[in-house]
Amino acid sequence: MTTPAVRRVRVVGGGRAAGAFARALEAVGVVTAQLDGRSPEVAAAAEGVDLVLVCVSDGAVAEVAVRVRPDPAVVVAHVSGSLGLDVLAPHPRVAALHPLASLPSAEVGATVLRAGTTFAVAGDPLARAVVERLGGRAVEVADADRAAYHAAACIASNHTVALLGQVERVAASVGLPLAAFRALVEGSVTNAFELGPAAALTGPAARGDEATLDRHRAALDPSELAAYEAMVAEARRLAGTAS
């Protein structure tokens, strides 16, 4: 099957994701225009382009999509990880294109989107063509699976960052910076991907060392205990020693 051409894209949205996609697509030679999702010009967003890429918050996708006049020759796609294709009605050609990456700013995000990123796609083949143009890898995620897929993505990114926030707080209580734990974190993550999480797991929860766990509990500020206990339970579950 011939890969459809991606020549002209209109990015709808004014946030970090919209800016990142606009810059990334421009960098790979796609003629790109950006339009704020609240602009009255959204109605004409499909004119003169191959793709309208809706980069707004999940709650606004359907409202923005319905304001765009349908064109049977134009694909309308969103970049949400959790939403299905139904939110893009009434457009005849629809797609989803979600990057498995953090986009902290438009500038950084544009680089990330062109760094071999994995994208969860669905719908029209033009979504895969966009991924190919950006030098990424496309994986198909059906509508019925998108909420679970997005949950996994949030655990991988947001929960990991939140956990590092706890590391930072506890480390600060003994006068150490977060940076002191960087090699430990990076080594653990590398081991988890190379060996699998269960094989990479170490520590007192995995080996059933209750005395050490009790010393941790006694040393921690009470505000840190709920998260600590939750992760002890997860470590035991992973190690197959949950009680």
Domain that holds residue 66: 8-141
Please give the Cα distance from 108 to 103 (Å, whole number): 7
User: Residue 1 falls within a domain, yes or no?
Assistant: no
> What integer pLDDT is reported at residue 39 of this predicted model?
84
Contact (Cβ atoms closer than 8 angstroms) between residue 42 and residue 66:
no
Please give the Cα distance from 83 to 234 (Å, whole number): 28
Helix, strand, coil percentages for the chain (3-state, nearest 5): 55, 15, 30
Cα torsion for 9, 52, 117, 134, to the nearest 10°? -20
pTM over 0.75: yes
Structure tokens at 62: 């359907």
Shared domain for 158 and 125, answered yes or no, is no
Contact (Cβ atoms closer than 8 angstroms) between residue 204 and residue 212:
yes
Residue with tokens 């005395």: 211
What 3-state DSSP class applies to 145? helix
DSSP 157: I
Shared domain for 134 and 159, answered yes or no, is no
Shared domain for 135 and 168, answered yes or no, is no
- Give the pLDDT of the chain (243 residues) as one tens digit per residue: 566 788 999 999 989 999 999 999 999 999 988 988 788 889 999 999 999 999 999 999 999 999 999 999 999 999 999 999 999 999 999 999 999 998 989 999 999 999 999 999 999 999 999 999 999 999 999 999 999 999 999 999 999 999 999 999 999 999 999 999 999 999 999 999 999 999 999 999 999 999 999 999 999 999 999 999 999 999 999 999 654
